[in-house]
Structure 1
């Protein structure tokens, strides 16, 4: 067993515990420790990415209990990609937060690190019950982060977020119980073997549990009709929290990829492709709903929140079709949209800090200071989000379009994605022209200064859309290999024969 596998969990755990005991320490010390912890986390995830690139599965069994009996972590290309994507996002969101957004809550950094721990457990666990535990860890931390800053503006959407996720957790637990009652295991590899042996009532019970799981993952991913909680919740959160939350919907998408390709994939017999016939049309409707919401957005943060929903529909449509090319294209787009959306949340906060009482509302106001810098960042982010060339969003959408074979699905996906992208361009053009160019006479008294860390964090996240283009070839090769590995169900099942420490090979 390789002990590097526990680093993405252990590092934020220890950092979060230290933050909990340092609540009354000087804020500069807490900030230094938090940023240092996030840097260490990024380094550890890069190490794991390099390890995973050889295409093999690596297993870490806690207590040396062999699967399926113990708690296991599994590292593959998909898990490594999600870990690095999250760590990069977390670093720049954390850097932005030390510009003042972390003030007012002594446990902000602790909650931030605990949420990272929950996210990393979700990406690496090889067990359905521990996936439930990971969801609870990251959700509990997210409740505190969502309410950070206080005020009734955050209380109501925060309450909706908490209630819906508590319901989702209850359904998750019930579905896991249903599956365990039949199979006697929750290890994903073991489940993939045992579902092939089911028949009669047992088969129907597991099918029902699997469909309930899909509902839970759809809630986490914000798939229609379970997406209406997201725009207000994300728009009211503080900027670094909203940026970090850009990865939250991707946890639901990751869970669908992991569970429904492995346990309910093409080789699952009577349970093959469970729920996928529902997922494709719902993904297209979600994309459409996100576009409609963005056209009616009244603030930049709300516009970006609807962009999250657009990206969910765009990602799940090719995943639902199940082809290797579609999954690879979705993973390429996932990397682009997550970082771009996070950067746009930070841009919206910069706008709000420079416009006085107008904040980030899409209304005319006196000309802001630092307009050139902020408008350029918004332009780059909007181009990437809408999918215009030459930025990463365009290549991601192009790969998705090219991944679909001729047929009704191709017609629907091409039509919805291209028309949706056109209206998304209109939404961003409307917002940008009003906020940056339609100014009125007057001046804004004492706008907040843009610190170097705010500029660096925002510019870095937005600039990653250019980095992805520069390294599009290697990234696409990695996503192709990741998709091929996901489709190779038999290779994952070999972890059940992995020898434990002290055993003979």
Structure 2
């Protein structure tokens, strides 16, 4: 059990590598079996790691026995273990959907999928900023290929913009790392958190430059305005399993902001304390506003889903700007809800698109669905969850965010935008649902096929989480509060990970 912390990285790496080798590389059915087994093992190992962290505390894993701050460290705490469990559950549900036929559009879907999960889990678990860069590159390289899965001009064009933008982001990431290493002499997060408070004068100014470069990079991943423009078209053009997996990509950026700018550049950073807050607050507010406008203007269900991802990213960034334990707890709860609900909507939009012929997912008159009641029920549940209506988890998450505001200025700005964003989503879903389910031309398409049972099971898995998060809301919020307290406590999140350090 001592190696449990590396399993969420090791399992997708091994299964992805194995599926690249003959004969598995030539047999789609063998790849499907391997992928389901791999994602199931990943889910089980993530759940066991989550339970162990909750029962025994932080699990620090030093690769090769080289202790921090000199070696490569993986840190499984309550924050990272929750995100890894979310990643494992999402991967398993999406893979169930993909093996129904969506994986046939291009070569190497399954290995690329596993490598991207590896990069996502590594980003959540790493205790070193340089290795955060490495895992970012792993997940990005896999996402470049997955984005053009099944081909097409629109996918290629979106992929080109996405690749260029992220290459620029990677370059800025390296510049920021170089500056911080030059000023602090370390890239281990716990060691940086201890040393950053000792910086003064020009050295502190130089370190601030490196930190703000990282904020730009993480903001790009999180779709923070003005670096959000890549997301709607990219997500809307991707195949359904890829778009659903991409729902967690923005959370990697938001998680990195919480980890770096709470632990390293938080309350105990001396001259650099809370340096991200003056930038995060207005940009988070504007991100919510832009996502709200995009939701109003969305011509189809996939684009609406993508704009709702932007709104959720803005809400999470607002929590990072508030920078309190209550706000961090609210962000953790809301991140789980929004990731799974958004992924479910992307998958549902794909089924609807296949049953409407040339109209696809656009909000225009078309032929009726083959399974109107089933799709209508799933659409209603996901809409209520994403709008934030009771009694589903979206309501609880948004209430927690609203309650986390402290000053009058925060309340004045955030409350109206969150509520207006929810109203915009409600109007968009009402408009879209009315067109999709009630405004029809002709009869059901003869060539349209009903959703397969395994596709329905995949969406049902994602759907059931929302009511469960409400039923067990007390236990879940207690956990998120404990996780938030750990993240904001430098004695635990920094000094506790370097036994030789003293304050």
- 2:145 maps to 1:136: no
Match of 1:181 in 2: 182
Indicate the larger mover: 400-409 or 289-298: 400-409
Q: Cα offset for 1:466? A: 1.5
SS in 2 for 1:60: strand
The corresponding residue for 2:403 is 402
Given that residues 117 and 138 in structure 1 are in contact (C-alpha distance below 8 angstroms), is that contact kept between their aligned partners in structure 2? yes
Contact 2:16 2:114 in 1 (8 A): yes
The alpha-carbon deviation at position 494 of structure 1 amounts to 3.2
* Structure 1 Cα separation of the partners of residues 389 and 74 of structure 2: 39
Q: How many Å apart are 1:342 and its aligned residue?
A: 0.3
Aligned to 1:333: 334
**Is 1:20 aligned to residue 20 of structure 2?**
yes
Partner Cα separation in structure 1 for residue 371 and residue 175 of structure 2:
52
Q: For the residues of structure 1 that align with 2:166 and 2:472, how far apart are their CA atoms? A: 37
Q: Secondary structure at the match of 2:82?
A: helix
1:455-474 equivalence runs, <5 A: 455-474=456-475
Q: Using the TM superposition, name which of 263-272 and 47-56 deviates more.
A: 47-56
Distance change (3 Å), C-alpha of 1:24 and 1:484:
closer
Deviation at 1:291, TM superposition (A): 1.0
- Aligned to 1:379, the other structure's residue is in SS state helix
State the Cα distance separating 1:473 from its structure 2 match. Answer: 1.3
Contact 1:55 1:76 in 2 (8 A): no
* SS of equivalent residue, structure 1 residue 53: helix
DSSP 3-state at the match of 1:43: helix
Structure 1 residues 55 and 319: alpha-carbon distance in aligned structure 2, compared to 1, 3 A threshold? farther
> Cα gap change, 1:109/1:139 in structure 2, threshold over 3 Å: closer, same or farther?
same
Aligned to 2:360: 359
Kindly indicate whether residue 6 of structure 2 is the aligned counterpart of residue 6 of structure 1.
yes
Q: Distance in 1 between matches of 2:418 and 2:226?
A: 19
Deviation at 1:329, TM superposition (A): 0.9
Cα 1:143/1:209, change in 2 over 3 Å: same
Q: CA deviation at 1:105?
A: 2.4
Query: Shift in Å at residue 51 of structure 1?
Result: 1.3
Deviates further, 54-63 or 237-246: 54-63
1:411 alignment counterpart:
412
Moved over 4 A (4+): none
Contact map agreement 2:289 2:417 (CA 8 A) in 1: yes
2:237 is matched with 236
- Report the alpha carbon displacement of residue 465 of structure 1 after superposing the two structures with TM: 1.2
* Per-residue CA distance 1:354-399 (angstroms, 9 max, x = gap): 1111111111112111011011101100110011111110010011
| C-alpha distance in 1 between matches for 2:66 and 2:449 | 55
- Secondary structure of 2:336's counterpart equals helix
Distance of 2:56 and 2:2 partners within structure 1: 16
Which aligned pairs between 1:405-444 and structure 2 lie closer than 5 A? 405-444=406-445
For 1:24 and 1:258, the matched residues in 2 are separated by: 38
Contact 1:242/1:342, CA 8 A, preserved across alignment: yes
Matched residue of 1:70: which SS? coil
1:405 and 1:220 map into 2 onto residues whose CA distance is 27
TM-score, with normalisation over the residues of structure 2? 0.97
**Deviations, residues 316-335 of structure 1 (Å, cap 9, x unaligned):** 11221111111111111111
Q: Tell me the alpha carbon deviations over residues 405-437 of structure 1, each in whole angstroms, 9 at most, x when there is no partner.
A: 241111111111112211111011111111111
Match of 2:63 in 1: 62
Larger mean Cα displacement after TM superposition, 154-163 or 317-326: 317-326
Between the aligned partners of 1:493 and 1:230, the Cα distance in structure 2 is 34
User: In the alignment, what sits opposite 1:83?
Assistant: 84
Aligned to 1:306: 307
Report the CA distance between 1:201 and its aligned residue.
Answer: 1.4
1:496–1:343: structure 2 CA closer, same or farther, 3 Å change rule? closer
Aligned to 1:263: 264
Unaligned 5+ residue runs, structure 1? Answer: 500-505
* Residue pair 1:291, 1:424 contacting (<8 A) in 2 also: yes
**Residue 494 of structure 2: SS of its match in structure 1?**
helix
Assess if the C-alpha contact under 8 Å between 2:69 and 2:498 holds in 1. no
Q: Which residue of 1 aligns with 2:50?
A: 49
In structure 2, stretches of 5+ residues that fail to align are none
1:479 match: 480
8 Å Cα contact 2:3/2:61 also seen in 1: yes
* CA positional deviation for 1:65: 1.0
CA contact (8 A) 1:383 1:391 kept: yes
Cα deviations across residues 236-262 of structure 1 (Å, max 9, x unaligned)?
101011000000000000000100011
1-structure distance, mates of 2:313, 2:56: 27
What do the CA deviations read for 1:4-26 (whole angstroms, capped 9, x no partner)? 11111110010000111145442
Moved more, 418-427 or 123-132: 418-427
* Mapping of residues 365-404 of structure 1, within 5 Å: 365-404=366-405
- The offset of 1:443, in angstroms, is 3.4
Aligned 8 A contact 2:356 2:367 in 1: yes
1:24 and 1:370 map into 2 onto residues whose CA distance is 35
Between the aligned partners of 2:191 and 2:362, the Cα distance in structure 1 is: 51
1:87-126 to 2 correspondences below 5 Å: 87-126=88-127
Q: Once the 2 structures are TM-superposed, how far is the Cα of residue 449 of structure 1 from its aligned partner? A: 3.2
State how far apart, in whole Å, the 1-side matches of 2:327 and 2:458 are.
31
The alignment's C-alpha RMSD in Å is 1.3
Q: Distance in 2 between matches of 1:484 and 1:24?
A: 46
Aligned pairs (5 A) from 1:107-256: 107-256=108-257
Counterpart of 1:449 in structure 2 is: 450
CA distance in 2 between counterparts of 1:143 and 1:493 reads: 34
Structure 1 length normalisation: TM-score?
Answer: 0.97
